């Protein structure tokens, strides 16, 4: 929808502005819920709503005590620690295995490509409740239920499809002549891998790893089943908090998490630009 031409008729003009208003309303619907929690998290009273003091911008209506609660409460601190530890190890596992597999899948000599790909992607397709149920039954059988290792393995499995997809996408435009050139210039396969392949796929690996990290960091269904209180993550704690004692600390955590996701988005955007730039250099 380009700018309105000068010869537009009245109905066209009306529709042009009406359409923009509709779109603005949809964007408002998308963003408003994320924004509304920010002021609410500074509420002085333990409710999920604006008080009259808040609306009058009375400083007494605002407080940072929920943030203080978050940073001092041992339940929440344990959850933060668990979230990072679990997401970190799950990401390492899924990023390394996923990158290797993507390199294999992108080779023209790969047999049964579609079949293997659909099996590797399956953790992303199967509804989480089914994955969680299956893992709960099986992991309790082998003694992994209620252990950090169990949750890490489960999250790594859920994160691998994202790594496989992003790295494979990076490799789609990969010029195999670069490998041949390196080989013909006398580089060993290891040297070719680290000096030629790695720099080119790094943006894909990092964005895949970010996806895997956020998958684990955000995941709650599997951790509810495979984990226990000892493995509580931030989403686990939020989930039980919403169900049991609703407190604005949850809103404070939500605000902080929104900040984290903004940073994530920013990082991914930078990576995307870098990939484009690298591609650009390669094509000239």
Partner 1 sequence: MQNSASAAIVTADGQPLKVSLARALRRQRMFALALVAPLFIFVAISFIIPIADMLFRSVENGIVEEILPQTVKALESWDETSGELPDEAVFAAMVADLKVARKERTNTKVGQRLNYERSGMSSLFRGAGRKAGRIKEAPYKEQLIKSDKDWGKIVTWQVIKQFSPNLTPGYYLASVDAMQTPEGEIRFEDSEKAIHTKLFIRTMIMSVVITLMTLLLGFPIAYLIATQPAKIGNLLIILVLLPFWTSLLVRTTSWIALLQQQGVINDILVFIGIISDDGRLTMIHNATGSVIAMTHILLPFMVLPLYSVMKTVPPTYMRAATSLGAHPWPAFWKVYFPNTVPGIGAGAILVFILAIGYYITPELVGGTSGTFISNRIAFHIQNSLNWGLAAALGAVLLVIVLVFYLLYDKIVGIDNMKLG
In the window 175-214, what residues touch partner 1 (CB under 8 A)?
207, 211, 214
Asked if 281 is part of the footprint of partner 1 (rule: CB under 8 A), the reply reads no
Cβ atoms of 145 and 222 closer than 8 Å: no
Cβ at position 31, least distance to partner 1 in Å: 6
- The binding track of 62-91 with respect to partner 1, each residue x by CB under 8 A or -, is ------------------------------
CA nearest to 215, candidates 178, 250, 173, 165: 165
Rounded to the nearest 10°, the torsion over CA 121, 126, 129, 135 is -60
Cβ proximity to partner 1: between 76 and 139 the closer is 139
Of 104, 143, 173, 199, the one binding partner 1 by CB under 8 A: 104
The tokens of 182 are what? Answer: 């390196």
Number of H helices, E strands in the chain: 13, 0
* 247-261 burial: b if 16+ Cβ within 10 Å, else e: bbbbbbbbbebeeee
- Cα-Cα end-to-end distance for the chain: 33
Residues linked to residue 62 through DSSP beta bridges, in sequence order: 43
Asked if 12 is part of the footprint of partner 1 (rule: CB under 8 A), the reply reads yes
Cβ atoms of 159 and 128 closer than 8 Å: no
Of 17, 48, 81, 194, the one binding partner 1 by CB under 8 A: 48
Of 91, 139, 213, 275, the one binding partner 1 by CB under 8 A: 139
Choose the stretch contacting partner 1; rule: CB under 8 A; options: 56-64, 65-73, 178-186, 215-223.
215-223
Of 79, 86, 135, 223, the one binding partner 1 by CB under 8 A: 135
How many residues are there in the chain?
Answer: 284
Q: How many CB atoms lie within 10 A of CB 87?
A: 23
Cβ at position 69, least distance to partner 1 in Å: 16
Residues linked to residue 43 through DSSP beta bridges, in sequence order: 62
Choose the stretch contacting partner 1; rule: CB under 8 A; options: 33-41, 64-72, 177-185, 190-198.
33-41
Of 4, 126, 181, 270, the one binding partner 1 by CB under 8 A: 126
Asked if 153 is part of the footprint of partner 1 (rule: CB under 8 A), the reply reads yes
**Total of chain residues touching partner 1, rule CB under 8 A:** 94
């Amino acid at each position: 929808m380009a700018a309105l031409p000068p010869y537009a008729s009245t109905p066209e003009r009306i529709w042009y502005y009406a359409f923009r208003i509709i779109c603005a309303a949809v964007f408002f619907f998308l963003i408003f819920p994320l924004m509304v929690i920010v002021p609410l998290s500074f509420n002085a009273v333990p409710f999920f709503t604006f008080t009259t003091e808040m609306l009058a911008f009375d400083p007494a209506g605002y407080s940072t005590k929920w943030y203080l609660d978050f940073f001092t409460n041992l339940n929440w601190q344990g959850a933060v620690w668990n979230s990072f530890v679990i997401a970190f190890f799950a990401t390492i596992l899924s990023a390394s295995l996923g990158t290797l597999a993507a390199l294999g899948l992108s080779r023209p000599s790969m047999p049964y490509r579609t079949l293997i790909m659909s099996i590797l992607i399956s953790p992303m397709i199967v509804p989480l409740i089914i994955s969680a149920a299956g893992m709960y039954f099986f992991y309790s059988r082998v003694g992994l239920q209620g252990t950090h290792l169990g949750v890490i393995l489960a999250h790594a499995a859920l994160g691998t499809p994202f790594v496989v997809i992003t790295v494979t996408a990076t490799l789609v435009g990969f010029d195999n002549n670069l490998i041949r050139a390196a080989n013909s210039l006398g580089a060993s396969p290891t040297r070719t891998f680290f000096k030629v392949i790695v720099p080119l796929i790094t943006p894909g690996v990092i964005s895949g790893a970010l996806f895997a990290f956020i998958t684990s960091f955000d995941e709650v269904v599997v951790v509810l089943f495979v984990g226990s209180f000892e493995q509580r993550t931030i989403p686990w704690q939020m989930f039980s908090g919403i169900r049991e004692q609703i407190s604005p600390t949850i809103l404070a955590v939500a605000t902080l998490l929104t900040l984290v996701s903004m940073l994530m988005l920013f990082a991914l955007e930078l990576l995307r630009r870098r990939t484009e730039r690298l591609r650009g250099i390669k094509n000239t």
